[in-house]
């Protein structure tokens, strides 16, 4: 069996930064305890369980926004995840007297700042993102004037009268799908400013998926809630290669390996390297 590891692998800079901040906080006696993570620090259950072992409590409930999740925290320290939070969440945490550790990825912060800047300059702001994703929740919480869109149809139903239009996006979208949406914005609003903010880590991984060698199977390793992981999966499918998305070795369907001679393996920016290595070791053991 030929196993090709699609590079890059391992955490992106934003995830490394967020995990380090959380781990440093857990080990620091001067930080007010208990320490709560508002939502999942990144979308990876293995990382969350590692942080729980250090005493960091993740507060997450399906359907509840970061703002509502804050109601469940009344003392100690709150960590904001790499996805970022809206100004309202920041304000509420301060009013509750909580200590704040902000682990927002710098690339997400840049999107917040650019949108604020353009709103202040009188632009109509279009933001492309995934519904109910925490990164988008943080951005659209900046102002109710932001036009949130996810599809071409959403763009067509906008009726912006402002001559000044600024369009930007969630950092972990598909580079290919986002281009199509930006093209449509440009077609309808020819003078619009298009500011693609897909981060470098996402772009490089998707390009590597697009250029992966032919294989009988591509395995994408990562959490099913991770946006960048799901996009790697779709890019590989679009590339015409049979692809599966699994969280770890336990969830690898063994029947998917029947008759497979060439395997490519990729992983999301929030997948720990050791999980990929375990899968590769297992695949290699089948050769013996």
Q: What is the per-residue binding string for ligand SF4 in 1-20, x denoting contact by CB under 6 A? A: -----------xxxx-----
**Torsion angle of C-alpha atoms 76, 80, 85, 88, degrees rounded to 10:** 10
Q: Is 118 annotated as a binding residue?
A: no
- Of 207, 249, 251, which is closest to residue 228 (Cα–Cα)? 207
DSSP summary character for residue 51: H
Residue whose structure tokens are 């763009």:
155
The residue annotated as part of the active site, out of 61, 95, 135, 210, is 135
CA distance 22 to 78: 10
- To the query of whether residue 135 is one of the catalytic residues in this protein, the response is yes
Give bridge partners of residue 239 from the DSSP assignment. none
**Footprint (CB under 6 A) of ligand SF4, residues 16-75:** none
Q: Does residue 82 bind ligand SF4 (CB under 6 A)?
A: yes
Q: Does residue 169 bind ligand SF4 (CB under 6 A)?
A: no
- Of 224, 225, 209, 222, which is closest to residue 248 (Cα–Cα)? 222
Q: Does residue 199 bind ligand SF4 (CB under 6 A)?
A: yes
Q: Does residue 111 bind ligand SF4 (CB under 6 A)?
A: no
- Least Å from the CB of residue 33 to ligand SF4: 26
Strands 99-102 and 77-80: parallel
Q: Is 273 annotated as a binding residue?
A: no
Selected from 77, 228, 264, 266, the binder of ligand SF4 by CB under 6 A is 228
Q: Is 218 annotated as a binding residue?
A: no
Selected from 40, 169, 171, 178, the binder of ligand SF4 by CB under 6 A is 171
By CB neighbour count within 10 A (0-12 exposed, 13-18 middle, 19+ buried), where does 260 fall?
middle
Active site residues: 135
Binding footprint of ligand SF4 on the chain (CB under 6 A): 12-15, 82, 105, 107-108, 171-172, 199, 201-202, 228, 269
């Amino acid at each position: 069996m030929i196993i090709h590891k699609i590079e890059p692998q391992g955490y992106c800079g934003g995830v490394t930064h967020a995990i380090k901040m959380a781990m440093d906080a857990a080990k620091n006696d001067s930080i007010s305890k208990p320490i709560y993570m508002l939502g999942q620090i990144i979308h990876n259950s293995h990382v969350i369980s590692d942080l729980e072992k250090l005493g960091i409590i993740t507060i997450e409930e399906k359907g509840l926004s970061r703002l509502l999740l804050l109601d469940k925290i009344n003392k100690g320290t709150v960590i904001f995840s790499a996805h970022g939070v809206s100004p309202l969440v920041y304000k509420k945490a301060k009013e509750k007297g909580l200590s704040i550790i902000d682990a927002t990825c710098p690339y997400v912060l840049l999107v917040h700042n650019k949108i604020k800047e353009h709103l202040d300059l009188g632009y109509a702001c279009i933001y492309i993102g995934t519904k109910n994703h925490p990164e988008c929740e943080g951005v659209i919480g900046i102002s109710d004037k932001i036009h949130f869109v996810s599809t071409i149809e959403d763009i067509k139903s906008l009726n912006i009268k402002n001559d000044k239009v600024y369009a930007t996006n969630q950092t972990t979208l598909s580079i290919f799908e986002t281009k199509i949406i930006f093209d449509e914005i440009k077609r309808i609003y020819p003078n619009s400013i298009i500011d693609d903010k897909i981060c470098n880590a996402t772009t490089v991984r998707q390009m590597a998926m697009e250029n992966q060698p032919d294989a009988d199977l591509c395995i994408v390793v990562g959490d099913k809630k991770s946006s960048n992981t799901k996009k790697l999966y779709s890019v590989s499918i679009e590339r015409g290669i049979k692809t599966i998305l699994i969280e770890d070795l336990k969830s690898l369907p063994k029947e998917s390996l029947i008759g497979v001679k060439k395997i490519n393996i990729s992983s999301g920016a929030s997948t720990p390297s050791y999980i990929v290595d375990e899968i590769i070791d297992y695949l290699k053991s089948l050769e013996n």
